[in-house]
Copies of this chain bind each other. A is one copy, B any other.
């Protein structure tokens, strides 16, 4: 199977992912947690400039994939949250983008 980080978002059909579909996907992005129907991870940085550099990299891949996260950030931290509004929960696209964000890390 192609690693999640090398895949790209596709138009989503059908229902949100749930149940047995989730554990094998979460195993590929183990630093992320499912919180309120979204995939969420907190990142920390040494200063505000590094935080913003990360935020802009995430924004770049979000534009490329035409899938956009919620970002909550301050001095030295950023919470990234992926969900798929069209299915009212998680889709494969959220896992793909989470893996792409992980791949930004050193």
Assess the A74–B71 pair: CB atoms within 8 A.
yes
| A43 interface residue per 8 A CB criterion | no
Q: Which of B49, B63, B74, B75 contacts A49 (CB 8 A)?
A: B63
A56 to B73, CA, bound (A): 12
| 21 A-B residue pairings within 8 Å (CB atoms) | A48-B59, A48-B62, A48-B63, A48-B68, A49-B63, A52-B56, A52-B59, A55-B55, A56-B56, A68-B74, A68-B75, A69-B74, A70-B72, A70-B73, A70-B74, A71-B71, A71-B72, A71-B73, A71-B74, A72-B72, A72-B73
A interface with B by C-beta (< 8 Å): 48-49, 52, 55-56, 59, 62-63, 68-75
